[in-house]
Structure 1
Amino acid sequence: MNSKYAKASFLDVFKYSFGGLGSNLAFILTMSYLTFFYTDIFGIDSMVVAGLMLIARLIDAFTDPLMGMIGDHTRSKLGKYRPWIIIGAPLLGVLVFMLFTAPELSPNMKIVYVYAVYITYSLASTIVNIPYHSLTPVISKDPYQRTVIVSWKQGMGTVAQFVITIMALPLVELFGGGKQGWAMYGVLIGVVTTVSFWICAWGGKKYDVVDMDVPQQSFSLKDDLKLIFGNKPMVMLMIAFGTDVLANASYSAANMYYFKYVLNRMDLVPKVASAILFAGIITLPILPVLAKWLGKKRLYWLGSLFSIIPLAVMWFRPTAPVMVLMSMMAAFGFISRIPANLGWAMLPECVDYAEWKYGARGDGLISSSLTFMNKLGMAFGGAMVSFALAKVGFVPNVAQTDAVNNMIVFLRFGMPVLGYVASLISMYFYEITNEKYSQIRSELDLRNMQKEAAI
């Protein structure tokens, strides 16, 4: 079946994959360090941080699908989606720097500053990331190559994970430590993010093409939203993916607290991050093969299931010897990359399902639903960590009570377990199997042939 579909060139796929670097640099940086930076460096109360994360996501509930619809209905010589990436990338880069800048302000003005910067950052991320993800089904119609493209994107995401989780703290110290170190690191990440997205837009140039002679389709909010909420596989994927992100966001937001207050071993942060990272790299080249063999639905379900095991071990033995910690986190890094990567590979299937059922694709709108769940899971994960720690009496930079340490352990290991259990339930109802997708593609191909014959 795959030989029937046109494929993108390797060079264009490689250039497009740089979007995975730009997207994940900002995403992993904010998920891993922003809560810690705001409480321990900038001096913001953890309850304020929790409220900020939730309010920003409420705004995203409107702006993400809006950006998806805007992208789908954009008509320009640069294409539908590329103009937004090109214009939005430098804005996003500047805001990444501002997120990790701690100006000398009064306590009230600090709150005003973080609200203004974080919400604006979230909007800039929407402008860039939704068009970026929308390009995947545009670049290639081949089902197998789409999985390969996602593997390349996530491979670049692994580079971002290295730069953030392993290199962040050493580079912050190299740049002077404290507020100065974080600000300089923010400059570096902002510049690399901008350039990465520009390279990504370059890779999509040949494929994101608008025929300016074809009349513009009429806009209908009801018809557009139907592509998501009338699309059962998309709804199930949104829930499963969102709860997986929630699991990882809680895990990441509590990470620094775990090493600093529970283990008193900040030196282990880059070492454990290295184990997770390099174990995850192994997943990338074998993911397309496993997806073709087992089917994406089954592989996603198994990946979520087995991600629970190493988390559960550490939940019950949080102060286990270093070798146990390293081995469990390496196992988690390998297994958890499967559902994390597969969600994006399954997204084009849901786009095709919408076209098959309703006669309209909505690449941008449907992509926006997954990016929204990505940010929603990240925000709720970070907000829950801030909220829960405040409730049990967390005070920065002092020895913590047993109640606080127990909460940190639960947030880092127990909460992710619950997130993966929720994704298992949702993915059970995802109905696009390999056989179902073959049927969908065959019927879409027949329709297209009939349209061409009628012209």
Structure 2
Amino acid sequence: MNESAKIPAWKKFCYGCGAGGGNVMSTLLATFLTAYYTDTAGIAAAAVGTMFVICRLLDGVTDLVMGGIVDKTHTKIGKARPWLIVSAPLMVIGIILILNVPGGWSSAMKLVYAYVTYIFLNCIVYTIFGIAHSALLARMTREFKDRNTTSTISSILNNAVGLVVGTSIVGMQMKFGWTVTSIILGVTAGILILIPGLACNETVGMKQEKENKQDIPMKKQLPVVLKNRYFWMALLIGVFTLLVNANAIAAQIYYCNVVLQDPMYMATLMSMGQLPGIIILFFMPYFSNKFSKRGFMAVGGILMVIGFALIGIADTNRMLLLTGTIVRSIGIGPMFAGVYAFVADAADYGEWKYGIRSEGLMASSQSIGSKVGIGFGSALTAWILAASGYVGTPGAEQSAKVVKAIRFDYGWLGAIFSVALLVIVLLMDVEKYLPQIREELEKKEA
């Protein structure tokens, strides 16, 4: 197998379908699950929030364990693909279960059911999918420019599916109810995840694994991965990218309701917060391969800072608010695409620097980072509202302190986090080693 062979365009598309399948679940959990638990299932909001925090702690453990399992997997089709295939039907089951809390059960039993199904879907099924899908990119080719393109296509499909799902769930739920909606979403996610599992090929490391299946012990493998500075940088990029995005989405509805006093403007901000980011991704392969993805992402970081700053000073000026939202969206698009490619680059660096290749454990950096970012990003808005004295009663008049807190949360806090993200991206200089890494590893394998 030629480990540096280019990935055919149709396989790049197939790989991206998997990201779209995962985002069916991510969009559901980030946008609608809390409302389903509190308004439909009748579970107390405080209990739901506690459950989310507890599961975030469990996530870190399951991610590392799954990363180690992927690294120890040896099959004819590779390390990552078998787990993608396994995760597809599990995703169907998990999504259906999580949206069907038994209505006749007591409050305590409903909460137990929510814990069990949420842990199953988020901490087990999504962990299997996320680690395997991220690891697969590192095993499809050593050609880092081709990985950049594949990662970009994946991000485009990821965002496109998220946009479609996010705008259609309400209509499906109102027309069919949650049970039918859960089946539609589950089957859609399962099919999309199954596509890369069946269609994409693993080439990197397959020859060596066929000749020698001896496993490197986890106690030796994990310290080497943790010693790789790019593991931590990829993790932090994931944390801050999802932290910024999740916090902005959570704060957006309160900004429309309280600051603008126009809940319907939410649809405009949602679309303008995603579409420009999808469009700019079409230009990322050219600039990333001609210059560097770090440079393209750094420009994106600068635009994020500017966009959030415009939102911070906008107040009720809708033109300024919309401009800031569009600029922010253009900036954050490259971040989502670049982090997947950086994980693959970090795996190459670890093999070159320390002599141990670990796509699975390396992929856990992205998985842990994204889950931590989403969890705390969503929680930040709730904490800020509580600290400012927000009154949750519908139609209640909010104080000037609450209005000020919401404006800070939606604008300036995003700008602060974007500065931190920009600094981390500038430190992620692994690309300068990639030509040398590829040349030396190919010689070694030959």
> TM (normalized to structure 2)?
0.90
Q: Which residue of the partner structure matches residue 236 of structure 1? A: 233
Q: Which residue of the partner structure matches residue 116 of structure 1? A: 116
User: 1:423 & 1:213 partners in 2: Cα distance?
Assistant: 40
Q: Which residue of the partner structure matches residue 129 of structure 1? A: 130
The reply on whether 1:149 has 2:153 as its aligned counterpart is no
- Conserved 8 A contact 1:39-1:396: no
User: 1:39 & 1:13 partners in 2: Cα distance?
Assistant: 39
- Conserved 8 A contact 2:14-2:195: yes
The reply on whether 1:331 has 2:327 as its aligned counterpart is yes
Quote how far apart the aligned CAs of 1:27 are: 1.4
Q: Which residue of the partner structure matches residue 357 of structure 1? A: 353
Deviates more, 1:243-252 or 1:218-227: 218-227
- Conserved 8 A contact 2:67-2:364: yes
- Conserved 8 A contact 2:244-2:414: yes
Q: Which residue of the partner structure matches residue 62 of structure 1? A: 61
Q: 1:74 to 1:300 in 2, by over 3 A?
A: same
Output one character per residue of 1:56-99: Cα deviation in whole Å (capped at 9) or x when no partner.
Answer: 12111111011011011112344322221112222222322333
Q: 1:367 to 1:418 in 2, by over 3 A?
A: same
Name which of 279, 283, 289 aligns with 1:282: 279
Equivalent position amino acid for 1:368 in 2: S
Q: Which residue of the partner structure matches residue 453 of structure 1? A: none
User: 1:112 & 1:404 partners in 2: Cα distance?
Assistant: 34
Q: Which residue of the partner structure matches residue 221 of structure 1? A: 218
- Conserved 8 A contact 2:3-2:204: no
User: 2:82 & 2:366 partners in 1: Cα distance?
Assistant: 21
Identical counterparts, % of pairs: 26
User: 1:40 & 1:87 partners in 2: Cα distance?
Assistant: 33
Q: Which residue of the partner structure matches residue 452 of structure 1? A: none
Quote how far apart the aligned CAs of 1:208 are: 8.3
Equivalent position amino acid for 1:367 in 2: A
Q: 1:398 to 1:224 in 2, by over 3 A?
A: farther
SS of the counterpart of 1:17? helix
Identify unmatched segments of 5+ residues in structure 1.
450-455
Identify unmatched segments of 5+ residues in structure 2.
none
Q: Which residue of the partner structure matches residue 376 of structure 1? A: 372
- Conserved 8 A contact 2:296-2:334: yes
- Conserved 8 A contact 2:385-2:406: yes
The reply on whether 1:249 has 2:222 as its aligned counterpart is no
Deviates more, 1:253-262 or 1:367-376: 253-262
- Conserved 8 A contact 1:40-1:396: no
Deviates more, 1:182-191 or 1:83-92: 182-191
Q: 1:422 to 1:16 in 2, by over 3 A?
A: same
- Conserved 8 A contact 2:248-2:414: yes
Q: Which residue of the partner structure matches residue 97 of structure 2? A: 98
> TM (normalized to structure 1)?
0.88
- Conserved 8 A contact 1:15-1:202: no
Deviates more, 1:210-219 or 1:65-74: 210-219
Q: Which residue of the partner structure matches residue 385 of structure 2? A: 389
User: 1:406 & 1:183 partners in 2: Cα distance?
Assistant: 40
Output one character per residue of 1:329-381: Cα deviation in whole Å (capped at 9) or x when no partner.
Answer: 22222221011211112111111100111112111110111111111111111
Quote how far apart the aligned CAs of 1:246 are: 0.8
Deviates more, 1:24-33 or 1:56-65: 24-33
Output one character per residue of 1:7-53: Cα deviation in whole Å (capped at 9) or x when no partner.
Answer: 12222222222101101121122223333444455454443333222
Q: Which residue of the partner structure matches residue 343 of structure 1? A: 339
User: 1:209 & 1:438 partners in 2: Cα distance?
Assistant: 18
- Conserved 8 A contact 1:258-1:409: yes
Q: What is the alpha-carbon root mean square deviation over aligned residues?
A: 2.6
Q: 1:293 to 1:8 in 2, by over 3 A?
A: closer
Quote how far apart the aligned CAs of 1:432 are: 1.8
